[in-house]
Amino acid sequence: MYGWIWRHLPGNTLVRAVVSLLLVAGIVYLLFTYVFPWAEPLLPFGDVTVDGGEGAAAG
């Protein structure tokens, strides 16, 4: 897959490297801006139970 993308990018090796870095930066930006905030309420990472009672280790 990465070879296919590399072959279809325009320019020489330096231009392809710059374009590929810009593509990766754009994808990361879209993920952090739109995808992760949309998916965050759907994930169970906020459901943390901290027990301070009988289950706690004696210090």
Contact 21, 36 (CB under 8 A): no
pLDDT bin (cut points 50, 70, 90) of residue 56 is low
- Asked whether the whole model's pTM tops 0.85, one would answer no
pLDDT above 80: residue 38: yes
Tell the residue number behind the tokens 């590929």, with chain if given.
20
Least confident segment among 26-30, 32-36, 38-42: 38-42
3-class SS at 51? coil
Q: Between these two residues, 46 and 28, which has the higher pLDDT value?
A: 28
DSSP H/E element including 4: helix 2-8
Per-residue confidence (pLDDT) for residue 52, from 0 to 100: 65
Q: Which amino acid is present at 34?
A: Y
Say how far apart CA 56 and CA 17 lie, in whole Å.
Answer: 53
